[in-house]
């Protein structure tokens, strides 16, 4: 916490910028469409969406293809991109790929910080005799809002990303149904603040006019 009171605070501000540069590099350089990807996906896109692939802006491709003689041809740019995403998003993977879900680094951080906050709040309320009932109620509301905010990214981010990783690693697809998973991911920024509005009583009263 001392770093927030010194010049090192500027280092914290660079983290979002560096992550943005990292993901731009992945998207533009490693996952950008090329002629091979366009021709490979042309028929699938037309069959699934009824539109030519030129009408879409997309990122991605295949990690490998199987040639006519049965040999596997690796696409190293996509393989590098998926590996970097794997290291960024995923912390561990079970050897039984279809029986377990990935545990993402973000989920672990959220869970760890949530437990730390819960323990600190509980210890503070147990050891302090000056905390009013209103303050205790507010702390409980904040904790429940935090729990819900852990559940939301698990459903809207971790599970869809897990499915995408499994499909990519096994060179399979779900055609047009992938749009539903992408839609879930885009819902996350809109839904994530809602627990605060509905769980925390002052916010809920202000929102509902109560």
Q: How many CB atoms lie within 10 A of CB 154?
A: 17
pLDDT at 13 over 80: yes
**Tokens standing for residue 184:** 């879930």
Could you tell me the pLDDT band of residue 89, with boundaries at 50, 70 and 90? low
Beta bridge mates, 73: 65
Provide the residue ranges of all domains of the chain, joining segments of one domain with +: 97-208
Say if residue 38's pLDDT is above 70.
yes
In eight-state DSSP terms, residue 64 is E
- Of 111, 95, 96, the closest CA to residue 158 belongs to 111
End-to-end alpha-carbon separation of the chain, Å?
Answer: 38
What are the pLDDT digits (tens) for 48-61?
778 888 888 777 77
Q: Which residues does 159 contact at the CB level (< 8 Å), separation at least 6?
A: 101, 184
Please state at what angle helix 133-153 crosses helix 178-191, rounded to 10 degrees.
160
pLDDT at 98: 34
- Taking residues 87-107, what's their average pLDDT? 46
pLDDT over threshold 80, residue 101? no
Percent of the chain scoring above 70 in pLDDT: 83
Range in 12-21, 88-97, 129-138 the model is least confident about:
88-97
Two tokens, residue 166:
């499994």
pLDDT of residue 156: 84
């Amino acid at each position: 916490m001392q770093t927030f009171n010194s010049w090192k605070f500027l280092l914290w501000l660079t983290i979002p910028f560096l992550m943005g540069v990292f993901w731009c590099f992945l998207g533009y350089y490693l996952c950008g469409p090329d002629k091979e990807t366009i021709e490979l996906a042309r028929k699938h896109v037309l069959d699934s969406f009824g539109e030519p692939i030129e009408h879409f802006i997309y990122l991605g491709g295949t990690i490998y293809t199987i040639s006519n003689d049965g040999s596997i041809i690796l696409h190293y740019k996509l393989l590098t991109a998926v590996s970097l995403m794997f290291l960024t998003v995923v912390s561990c993977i079970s050897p039984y790929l279809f029986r377990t879900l990935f545990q993402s680094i973000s989920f672990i951080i959220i869970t760890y910080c949530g437990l730390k906050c819960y323990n600190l709040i509980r210890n503070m309320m147990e050891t302090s005799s000056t905390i009013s009932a209103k303050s205790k109620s507010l702390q409980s509301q904040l904790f429940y809002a935090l729990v819900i905010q852990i559940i939301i990214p698990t459903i809207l981010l971790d599970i869809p990303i897990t499915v995408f990783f499994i499909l990519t690693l096994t060179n399979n697809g779900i055609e047009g149904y992938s749009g539903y998973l992408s839609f879930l991911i885009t819902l996350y920024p809109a839904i994530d603040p809602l627990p605060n509005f509905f769980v925390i009583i002052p916010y809920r009263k202000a929102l509902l006019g109560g």
